[in-house]
């Protein structure tokens, strides 16, 4: 898995299961919190407004009762309503009583209203409820936003009156905003807690997948030959199928190797007979048969080696230690070219492992060392080291072989890698060595390059996948 939760690199790649689970969990949690926040905010605003309206309604009923009292001396005394702000000039709390059934409407109001008048909700288009009560917002004295409750009452011969009570909403709005801030902080903390819980849930829930990944990685590194351990009921069938796939792969490769071996035996025996018979005859036809049979034998060998390499390159879990192979080959070629006093040196970074079978790695390095030995004047230097991770998920290492021979011109380097191409017929060989290396490298997903060596001869760069 690429990551346990967001923070891992995912640019240019499909999001991991862990990331998708985490992002989806956080996305739904945030969406639900937002919806819940909007609903709770609306409920709180409505509840606060209703409580405020009820408070204004109490003052309205007290004033209506005063207006409806028979006699000419109905007049509210200061402080009678129990709200001192009605007596403070432009305090934001007001009441007003207007008689509507006379030619020139008469009115009386709280001292707080001073010389101002309250707007009528009926004129603003506010509809009355069943009891004739109107409630709404308007702009009051000094341009302040106020909440108004008003009601028309008909007391018969005493007249028709409009009773209004109003108060500024600043206190209510401040109370609502304090609730919004508290709600936002609470939901923010809750969102962080949910993110942590989601991360832990994803990590815990995907732990069996990480265990399965470790088992598969161990097989790829060659540490195991099958998946072991107990898995949950939803992953156990997958582990079993992977084990069957690995076993089937090995079985198919073994059959392929057997068939390739049988084919090699079936072809090489008739070719050997033709070569032996041709050598006993001294004629132009015999020479031509010997020449063509030898070419056929080389071609059969090359294609059979390629088939064997192709079969081996797909073996799951094949791993080869680099240092022992290079060390053994340099010692071997030191002995082979002892008569020319060639010096083979090797420097290998510890811990390098080639992702493939030992026979393939030996054949690649062996062919390159043999070619370097044929042309070198006095020394061959071999170095192997880990490379920077050029491709995500595909670690590689590089083997560099330098010799102090005559080297190759740039235009001749591409020809040297062609199958059967020999640039100098005076040197022994079939011309297949470098082309075999090229094919093996391609089968294993690597790369081979020919360059000019600092020693004066040819440098071969071999890049291969590592474990």
Average pLDDT, whole number, for the chain? 81
Domain boundaries, the chain: 71-169, 245-313, 320-465
Both structure tokens of 334:
């030191």
Q: Which two tokens mark 209?
A: 């997948």
Report the C-alpha gap between 67 and 332 in whole angstroms: 122
Best-predicted range by mean pLDDT (66-70, 316-320, 352-356, 421-425): 352-356
Distances (CA, A) of 278 to 100, 236, 296, 298: 137, 63, 14, 17
d(CA 315, CA 252): 10
- With beta carbons less than 8 A apart as the criterion, state whether 407 and 458 touch: yes
pTM score of the predicted model: 0.48
Tokens of 348: 């290998």
**What is the per-residue pLDDT across 251-271, written as a single tens digit (0 to 9) for each?**
777 777 677 667 766 777 777
Q: Is the pLDDT of residue 349 over 90?
A: yes
- What burial class does residue 94 get, using C-beta atoms within 10 Å of its C-beta: 0-12 exposed, 13-18 middle, 19+ buried? buried
Mean pLDDT, to the nearest integer, of 353-364? 87
The CATH code of domain 71-169 reads: 3.30.450
Integer Cα distance of 339 and 306 in angstroms: 32
Give the residue, 190 or 394, on which the prediction is more confident.
Answer: 190
Which pLDDT band, with edges at 50, 70 and 90, does 243 fall under? confident
Percent of residues, the chain, with pLDDT higher than 70: 84
Residue range 107-128: mean pLDDT, rounded? 88
Q: Is 126 exposed, middle or buried (0-12, 13-18, 19+ CB in 10 A)?
A: middle
Residue 24 sits at the vertex; the CA angle it makes with 6 and 7, to the nearest 5 degrees, is 5
pLDDT at 292 over 70: yes
What does the pLDDT read at residue 80?
Answer: 62
Closest by CA to 112, choosing from 150, 81, 74, 134, is: 81
Confidence of residue 181 (pLDDT cuts 50, 70, 90): very high
Let me know the angle formed at the C-alpha of 306 by 389 and 269, rounded to the nearest 5 degrees: 160
Better-scored residue on pLDDT, 340 or 73: 340
Q: Is the pLDDT of residue 118 over 60?
A: yes
How many angstroms separate the CA atoms of 63 and 84, rounded? 15
Q: What is the pLDDT of residues 136-170, one digit of tens each?
A: 999 999 889 999 999 999 888 888 999 999 999 88
Report the SS3 class of residue 108.
strand
Residue 19 and residue 8 in contact, taking contact as beta carbons nearer than 8 Å? yes
pLDDT surpasses 70 at 314: no
Q: How far apart are CA 309 and CA 129, in angstroms?
A: 92
Q: How far apart are CA 366 and CA 370, in angstroms?
A: 6
For 270, 407, 416, the CA distances from 422, given in Å and listed in that order, are 27, 14, 7
Is 356:313 a contact under the CB 8 Å cutoff?
Answer: yes
Has domain 320-465 been given CATH number 3.40.50.300? no
């Amino acid at each position: 898995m690429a990551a346990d939760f967001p923070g891992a690199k995912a640019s240019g790649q499909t999001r991991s299961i862990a990331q998708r689970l985490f992002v989806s969990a956080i996305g739904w949690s945030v969406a639900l919190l937002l919806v819940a926040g909007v609903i709770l905010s609306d409920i709180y605003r409505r509840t606060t407004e209703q409580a405020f309206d009820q408070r204004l309604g109490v003052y309205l009923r007290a004033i209506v009762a005063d207006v409806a009292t028979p006699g000419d001396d109905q007049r509210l005394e200061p402080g009678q309503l129990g709200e001192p702000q009605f007596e403070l000039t432009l305090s934001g709390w007001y009441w007003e009583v207007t008689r509507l059934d006379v030619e020139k409407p008469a009115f009386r109001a709280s001292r707080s209203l001073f010389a101002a008048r309250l707007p009528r909700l009926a004129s603003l288009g506010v509809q009355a409820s069943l009891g004739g009560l109107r409630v709404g917002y308007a702009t009051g004295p000094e341009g302040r936003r106020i909440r108004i409750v008003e009601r028309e009452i008909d007391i018969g011969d005493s007249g028709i009156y409009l009773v209004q009570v109003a108060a500024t909403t600043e206190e209510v709005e401040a109370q609502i905003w304090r609730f919004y801030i508290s709600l936002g902080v609470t939901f923010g903390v809750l969102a962080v807690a949910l993110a942590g819980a989601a991360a832990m849930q994803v990590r815990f829930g995907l732990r069996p997948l990480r265990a399965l990944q470790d088992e598969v990685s161990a097989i790829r590194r060659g540490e195991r030959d099958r998946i072991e351990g107990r898995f949950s009921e939803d992953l156990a069938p997958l582990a079993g199928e992977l084990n069957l796939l690995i076993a089937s792969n090995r079985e198919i490769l073994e059959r392929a190797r057997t068939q390739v071996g049988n084919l090699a035996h079936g072809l090489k025996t008739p070719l050997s007979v033709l070569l032996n018979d041709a050598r006993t005859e001294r004629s132009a036809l015999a020479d031509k048969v010997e020449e063509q049979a030898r070419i056929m034998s080389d071609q059969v060998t090359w294609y059979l080696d390629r088939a064997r390499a192709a079969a081996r390159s797909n073996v799951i879990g094949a791993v080869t230690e680099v240092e022992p192979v290079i060390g053994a080959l340099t010692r071997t070629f030191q002995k082979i070219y002892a008569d020319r006093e060639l010096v083979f040196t090797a420097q290998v970074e510890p811990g390098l492992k080639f992702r493939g079978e030992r026979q393939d790695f030996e054949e690649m390095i062996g062919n390159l060392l043999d070619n370097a030995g044929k042309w070198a004047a006095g020394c061959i230097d071999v170095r192997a080291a880990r490379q920077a991770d050029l491709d995500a998920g595909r670690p590689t290492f590089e083997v560099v072989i330098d010799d102090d021979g005559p080297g190759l011109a740039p235009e001749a380097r591409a020809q040297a890698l062609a199958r059967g191409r020999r640039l100098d017929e005076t040197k022994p060989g079939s011309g297949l060595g470098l082309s075999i290396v090229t094919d093996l490298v391609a089968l294993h997903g690597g790369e081979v390059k020919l360059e000019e060596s600092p020693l004066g001869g040819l440098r071969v760069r071999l890049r291969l996948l590592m474990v």
